[in-house]
Amino acid sequence: MADEDKLDRARDLLDFIDRSPSPYHAVAEARRRLEAAGFTALDERETWSLRPGEQAFLIRGGGALIAVRAGSRPPSESGFLIVGAHTDSPGLRIRPCPDVHASGYLQLAVELYGSPLLFTWLDRDLGVAGRVTLRGGSTRLVDVDRPVARIPSLALHLQRGVNQEGLKLDAQEHLLPVLRMESAGESRSFVAELGTSTEDVLGWDLCLYDVQPACLGGAANDFLFASRLDDLVGCHAAISALVEAAPREITQLVVLYDFEETGSQAASGAHSRWLLGVLERLVGGSDLSRALARSLLVSTDMAHALHPSHANKHDPAHAPILGGGPVVKHNANQSYATDGPAAAVFAEACRAAGFAPQRFVARNDLPAGSTIGPIAAALTSIRTVDVGNPMLSMHACREMAGARDVDPMIRALVELLSRGQPPDPDC
């Protein structure tokens, strides 16, 4: 494939990211792409069953989505092939009583979401996106797509020594974005920025985000510079691969969970029974265990790439690099769910797509975190492989990954979905 074609996939990812400033927008964008490919919405409250080859999706909690293309054989005979990812990213969420009036400024009260790298949120041009629920119960997406807020850093002159001693931020005191100036006696509200009257807004789930668009970067366009790469890269790859894959005997699914960054303990998180419940309905009888025993979950979340200035943070033999292609993530203690046979299935798909995957194992003295894979694997007992594209600046407000890793991940997932062969349950 020509280099420009590979970068086309990267550009499509950048578009996906810019359209997804919150988990709710990520689901809306996934929905838009699925509908364009002929998938139709299912209502979980209703009874439904899918004909062979039928394509449908469900949304839970606004920020999670399951898409399915029914196989030509019953799942009890051919299993499920599931690609998983997560829609949420670490950052700052706006508290329900947001207005802080201090020293002539209107500031916003925020709550940490997940584990962001705090200093990376300073001096960014911040917009606001998410959803609001109005009087009467209607919920709509909002995106204040302009730099309405900023968390100014403290001048060097007022904190001499910060470069030597390191920046210490108090998450309660030092992360309040400034929204506007207020005159004496004035008391404005953040809600006015949402384009609706204060009394009408009864609830919200709102994130701050950097309004700088995602872009290709580096002297040779080697890189992606963007917010929320973790894990919109996985969401984009999963949806792209499902849309592209041909129908097969096996039932193909994508699950985009919310709340991975908080530990997945949520109704639309990997700790929920949601996926299992949908699989139960797809089986439609008493053969769920047979179907699960024939199934594979490919959990695609980002992987830690080797940082050139911190090379000692990696095991030298398991140190993925940007541009080196997708990574299989291993952890003998099940922070990643990958086992030998599942790793082999993914490696085979990569080989068929024309490359060999990189491998990651954390140093013994530096645990590297976890993801949706082991949690969903424990709940469903489905064999699982944890994979992902390599990245730097993980959990920063603006992150960095390899532009030429986007295409191979999608091709490997298409290969897996299109093979339609369930993994051997005996090994």
Closest approach of Cβ 387 to Zn ion, in Å?
A: 12
CB of 371: closest distance to Zn ion in angstroms?
Answer: 6
Q: How far is the CB of 117 from Zn ion (least distance, A)?
A: 14
Q: Which residue, 320 or 420, is less far from Zn ion as judged by CB?
A: 320
Shortest distance in whole angstroms from residue 158 CB to Zn ion: 36
Q: Which is nearer to Zn ion, 193 or 231 (CB)?
A: 231
Q: Which is nearer to Zn ion, 115 or 159 (CB)?
A: 115
| SS3 sequence of the chain | CCHHHHHHHHHHHHHHHHCCCCHHHHHHHHHHHHHHCCCEECCCCCCCCCCCCCEEEEEECCCEEEEEECCCCCHHHHCEEEEEEECCCCEEEEEEEEEEEECCEEEEEEEEECCCCHHHHCCCCEEEEEEEEECCCCEEEEEEEEEEEECCCCCHHHCCCHHHHCCCCCCCCCCCCEEEECCCCCCCCHHHHHCCCHHHEEEEEEEEEECCCCEEECCCCCEEEECCHHHHHHHHHHHHHHHHCCCCCCEEEEEEECCHHHCCCCCCCCCCCHHHHHHHHHHCCCCHHHHHHCCEEEEECCEECCCCCCHHHCCHHHCCCCCCCCEEECCCCCCCCCCHHHHHHHHHHHHHCCCCCEEECCCCCCCCCCCHHHHHHHHHCCEEEEEECEEECCCCCCEEEEHHHHHHHHHHHHHHHHHCCCCCCCC
Q: Whole-number minimum distance, CB 257 to Zn ion, in Å? A: 10
**Closer to Zn ion by Cβ: residue 18 or 230:** 230
CB nearer Zn ion, residue 148 or residue 233: 233
By beta-carbon proximity to Zn ion, the closer residue of 247 and 269 is 269
Please, which residue, 178 or 256, has the CB nearer to Zn ion?
256
- Rounded to a whole number of angstroms, the minimum distance from the CB of residue 354 to Zn ion is 26
Smallest distance from Zn ion to CB 89, Å: 8
By CB under 5 A, name the binding residues for Zn ion.
230-231, 301
Residue number with CB closer to Zn ion (230 or 405): 230
